[in-house]
Amino acid sequence: MTEILFPALAIGAVGLVLGMLLAVAAKAFHVEVDERIEQISACLSGANCGGCGYAGCSAYAAAIVNDSAPINACAAGGQAAVDNIAAIMGVEATAMEPVRAVVRCDGVITKANDRYDYYGIADCVSASKLQGGGHKACNFGCLGYGSCITACSEGGISIVDGVATIDGNSCIGCGACEKICPKGIIELVPKRHHIYVKCSSCDKAPAMRQKCSAGCIGCRLCEKACPAGAVTVNDNHASIDYSKCTGCGLCAEKCPKHIIVNENASAVIEETA
């Protein structure tokens, strides 16, 4: 009997001592967690998309409380998140305009030329590190291997005819696709605007025509047509200042290359047809 009793008591004693040590250690090394961090996390989208610049929603919430991070960095949460976080932190809510991502390239397979055939990893970041920045003749064109698809937490991106296409209804404006695109051709624009330019090339017209039949030729017709001065041509391609744009659509009407897209006009045409 004693052969069983004493080992059992010894094991019990060791367990008791270790338990006491763990309890003391837990108290000694306990770190108080600000309850506001959990409250702010609950206000965020929960997508953990990284669009705010932090590893996830919890990391962003902690940064707001501990490091005075801006309260309006969660595009996915929108204005509602900003208002709730402001109430928790006891600060004034800042205005936040909903945004969405658009692809500034129309160099589909039938329009864009290639400089060589690429057989490798289906990843834009990897392909962009090869000679010439990728297989496309245009150094500013979409490579079409879907790094943005991998980055999108909402499944709102697909590759159509070799160019990334973003579903505006699915896009939460987190900016993850914008950050990962090695060509820098994905741009966040205000959701209330439906006009954008589908070209980012800095090549002059003669060079552009040899590389892609869809590219902006820098003719400035859009710039001249815009009554608000919102459209300018710099670095041989058109850009839109959305703080000035009235959405009139004249720039899209005048563009001879049809690379300025007016989604409102497209919707009207489809309904009429």
What is the predicted pLDDT for the residue at 3? 62
In angstroms, the CA 192 to CA 97 distance is 9
Which helix (H) or strand (E) element contains residue 20?
helix 2-28
DSSP of 133-185: GSSBSSTTS---S-HHHHH-TT--EEEETTEEEE-TTT-----HHHHH-TT--
pLDDT band at 271 (very low <50, low <70, confident <90, very high): very low
Q: Tens of pLDDT along 29-76? A: 655 677 888 899 898 888 888 778 888 898 999 999 998 888 888 888
Instruction: Say whether pTM exceeds 0.85.
Output: no
With tokens 């010439």, the residue in question is 132
pLDDT number for residue 234: 93
- Contact between residue 215 and residue 208 where contact means Cβ atoms under 8 Å apart: yes
Confidence check: pLDDT of 1 > 50: yes
Q: Quickly state the pLDDT bin for 132 (edges 50, 70, 90).
A: confident
Tokens (6 digits) for 62: 């902690």
- Tell me how crowded residue 208 is: count the other CB atoms within 10 A of its CB: 24
- DSSP assigned state of 136: B
Nearest-5° angle of CA 112, CA 116, CA 120?
105
pLDDT at 143: 96
At 191-207, the pLDDT tens digits run 999 999 999 999 999 99
List 114's β-bridge partners, or say none: 136
Q: What is the dihedral of CA 70, 73, 79, 85, to 10 degrees?
A: -50
User: Per-residue confidence at 272, pLDDT binned at 50, 70, 90?
Assistant: very low
Residue 270 in this model has a pLDDT that exceeds 60: no
